[in-house]
Structure 1
Amino acid sequence: MAYDTMGKGPLNYQLCRYGTSKILFRGPKKKLAAPYIAVLGGTETFGKYLSHPYPELLQLELGTQVVNFGCQNAGVDAFLHDHGLLTLGNRAKATVLQVPGAHNMSNRFYSVHPRRNDRFLRGSNLLKELYGEVDLTEFSFTRHLLTALHDVSADRFVKIVEELRTAWVARMKLLIAKLECEIVLLWLADHPISEGAQGGINGSDPLFVDQDMMQAIAPFVAEVVEVAVSPQQQEDGRRGLVYADMEEPTTRDMLGSIAHRRTSRALHDAIDRLR
């Protein structure tokens, strides 16, 4: 398959909605016909800067309709609280669930936007007590907030990470329980599960998620697929990205086209085992 090259200009993602879901997904919109495979995930699943993200490649390999329900910057909450999307997921033959980070979700310390989970809405009294010297009105995004809190006090920040990890495990178990089909859990990152959560607040996605957290939810899914992309694969895969020149800085954290081809092949094998 030929891939577009970078520098040609921005992609038209043909955003669309499915059913009663309030989330805008990547198009073109499909007429959902059973049996289909549903794919839930964040920015990589959405396929930002990619002409052919892995859900599209997976459909070609399987010969079965695969629906991309990827949502940019999604955490667990974007899917868990969208009844329309859960309904569509439950109609699927199987659902692929990309592992999200633990930072983009509401918790005892702060609340996020129900769909744009990277948007910080408000801090709780618990957070104000822990970081009384921080003006929370200065923040609009979770990563910016968490970086600032860590810089003010790394010792106090440990409490926030503990809360995020505990909440993530509980929320993921709840989401899995609401999906009444076979679930393939996808770890798609620039590091293996065994090295998860290294780097702290400066780590890469899925942020704060470690091996213990993955082991806590693994018994509740049919398969766990791990795709860890090497630095060289990521660099080479950037040649498959499509973006306008002004977008170049924001492409540097994307995993690239090689990661998506590897993911498609790995998911194909996992879903074949479920047939």
Structure 2
Amino acid sequence: MSMHVTSVGALRDPICRYPGSTLPVRGPCAELTPPYVAFLGGSETFGRFIEAPFVARVAHQLGQSCVNLGSINAGLDAMLNDAGVMRIAAGAGLSVVQLPPVQDLSNLYYRVHPRRNDRFLAPTARLTALYPKVDFTEFHFTRHLVTTLHQTGPGHFALLRDELRAVWLARMTQLLQALGERAFLLWLQYDALPPQAGDLPGPDPLAVTDAMVERLKPLARGVVEVPVTLAGHVPGETGKMVFGPLQAPAAGHMPGPAMHQRIATRLSAAITALH
């Protein structure tokens, strides 16, 4: 197990890499003796800036072994392309899958970093033809990319939006089928961001709609929806988090300990109801 350090004074997040996996997930590494509940997701599941993420709280509430496979800025590509992580998740009695935003995956229009899926790597010829006046060397993050493209040419953006949603549905279907339909979908719905105007920009998970989630329900045990308020919008909440001085803005845009407790309570109730 190694430690993840990004700034002086930051939380020294324990990082675990399981055998056969290259994806850095939240540690400490857990025993993989069945039965256990696996949790797949990005920064929220990992519990960035949080000493006790919701996965650890679910384990405490249920008295059951829980394996946190959350990885910072990971999306569907990072999960599906890591054989070790998928093997662990498929071996769980139950898996909880945090719904990711649609923009953090490679598609017909652009490629993302294979592990940190929020990183934009390069456009394809299809995207440069759609936006010939855009300098794509200016973009490093997918949300900045899609927000700018939406503002630059909303009419053209519909083609990209439809592709992202279609690819997201296809890969979510692939993921849930690989888990043997033994998964809860965790839909974190941020309620403290500006209201959505048109299709974009909007709250995370970006561009995920009720209709898309309905398409996935037959492949899952259920959907747990949790309204989430960012830590920066809750007085005193960031003071309960651990981060370095340069990370304060990022911490304010993540769920704080109170939200992790709310998520854990909702998940624990849903898992208990299965028995």
TM-score, normalised to structure 2, is 0.90
**Residue ranges of structure 1 left out of the alignment (5+ in a row):** 1-7
| Per-residue CA distance 1:118-177 (angstroms, 9 max, x = gap) | 111221111111011112233222122222222321221122111111111111111100
Are 1:49 and 1:243, in contact at CA under 8 Å, matched by a contact in 2?
A: yes
User: What is the total number of aligned residue pairs between the two structures?
Assistant: 266
Equivalence for 2:4: none
| Per-residue CA distance 1:53-102 (angstroms, 9 max, x = gap) | 10000000111111110011122111112111111011111000011000
Are 1:189 and 1:255, in contact at CA under 8 Å, matched by a contact in 2?
A: no
Equivalence for 1:95: 95
Greater fraction of residues in helix: 1
Show the 5 A alignment for 1:113-192.
113-180=113-180, 182-191=182-191
Indicate the percent of aligned positions where both proteins have the same amino acid. 39
Equivalence for 2:216: 217
Aligned residue for 2:59, secondary structure, equals: helix
Tell me how large the CA RMSD over aligned residues is: 2.2
Equivalence for 1:268: 268
| Per-residue CA distance 1:219-245 (angstroms, 9 max, x = gap) | 210011011125799514434321122
| Per-residue CA distance 1:171-223 (angstroms, 9 max, x = gap) | 1111100112510110113239xxx9666433121011111111111121001
Structure 2 counterpart of 1:50, which letter? I
After superposing the two structures, state which structure 1 stretch, 223-232 or 76-85, moved more.
Answer: 223-232
The answer as to 2:41 corresponding to 1:41 is yes
Equivalence for 2:227: 228
Query: How many angstroms apart in 1 are the aligned matches of 2:84 and 2:115?
Result: 13
Are 2:13 and 2:27, in contact at CA under 8 Å, matched by a contact in 1?
A: yes
TM-aligned CA deviation for residue 105 of structure 1? 0.3
Are 1:101 and 1:209, in contact at CA under 8 Å, matched by a contact in 2?
A: yes
Structure 2 counterpart of 1:12, which letter? R
Query: How many angstroms apart in 1 are the aligned matches of 2:173 and 2:181?
Result: 14
Q: 1:137 to 1:169 in 2, by over 3 A?
A: same
Aligned residue for 2:31, secondary structure, equals: coil
Query: How many angstroms apart in 2 are the aligned matches of 1:81 and 1:232?
Result: 31
TM-score, normalised to structure 1, is 0.90
